[in-house]
Amino acid sequence: MSKATAPKGLDSVGSKLWRDVTSKYDLRVDELMVLEKACRASDRIVTMELELGVVGVMSIGSMGQPVVHPLVAEIRAHEAQVASLLGRLKLPDDPARAGEVPRSTQARAAAQSRWSTAHGAGA
């Protein structure tokens, strides 16, 4: 397994994510690009959470009303982005089982096969 070098500019959380994944899995170039995006987004989440800790969760709206700070939604969006990016890597739960097809993928394939057979769409 070759160890991919971490991209420049990652902060501690992004660097840790990079090390954790690349130390267990040998990724293709396109997967490394996805991992880099997840690492950078993870670093941005930490930065935004630190800022939110300083300014607070509530803010003042344009009409003087209390509103949820815009960083709350941005953090949520980044968390969803990280989850989506890491999901695209389709990493197995256990590196010892890296060659196995995930159970959900097997179940989906079986269901599609049954549907195709029942509906005459199978080839």
- Provide the phi-psi class of 60: left if phi over 0, else alpha when psi is between -120 and 50, else beta: beta
Look at residue 49 in the predicted model and tell me its pLDDT.
Answer: 98
| Helix-helix angle 29-55:12-24, to 10 degrees | 150
User: Given the structure tokens 């170039």, which residue do they identify?
Assistant: 29
Q: What is the pLDDT of residue 96?
A: 62
DSSP state of 76: H
Which ranges of the chain have pLDDT less than 70?
Answer: 1-2, 94-105, 121-123
| Prediction pTM value | 0.73
What pLDDT, on the 0 to 100 scale, is given for residue 117? Answer: 74
